[in-house]
Structure 1
Amino acid sequence: MILSDIAEYVTERVNSKSITLNQYVTTDSLLQNKRGRQTAQNLPPMTCALTRYCKGDILISNIRPYLKKIWLADSDGGCSTDVLAFRTKNGHSPNYLYALLI
């Protein structure tokens, strides 16, 4: 089985003005060693398009992968371009995908 059999890379966008600070995820707000995330320090200073993530998506920092920054989203929101978002395809469990990726 390959990753594309059970998941897809999220390319859907959301305007940064339509999300709150608590819904914004950056590489800095993802915690090391698979510990989830914390609230971001600030929103982007200029209006921009962010990747729209949904509850059940898996977000992974694409900067310094050895830090093991990964989060199974428990809400909807937007993430910076330095965070990859994966969504399971129909019939597959987000928890299973999360376990595979960690």
Structure 2
Amino acid sequence: MKRTIFLFVALGIMIAACSDRDDDVTAINIRVKNMSSFLFDEVLVGDEEHIYETLGPDLYSEYQEYETAYRYSYIRITSGEEVFVLQPMDFVGEEVLPIG
């Protein structure tokens, strides 16, 4: 009997501890990870409002909120004198990312 009660209490604690949200998220949140060995001086995702600055190798940026975002977007990375651009052609068939 004690074992059964212990299992239910432990299960209840694990379920409560596994909540995927501990804050009130009201927008799409995106962060960038630099998976290269280069320092990114600037990363622009989508439009001029969303610029991530100085992102070292293997580091994550802070989250930024977006009203609308898709699985892929316009991205411009500046690293020293080099500029790299990913330009999607269209968003046909794409669905807006969910809030979170």
Q: Is the pair's TM-score, using the shorter chain for normalization, greater than 0.5?
A: no
Higher helix share: 1
Question: Which of 1 and 2 has greater Rg?
Answer: 2
Q: Which of structures 1 and 2 has the larger relative contact order (alpha carbons within 8 angstroms, sep 6+)?
A: 1
Using structure 2 for the length normalisation, give the TM-score. 0.26
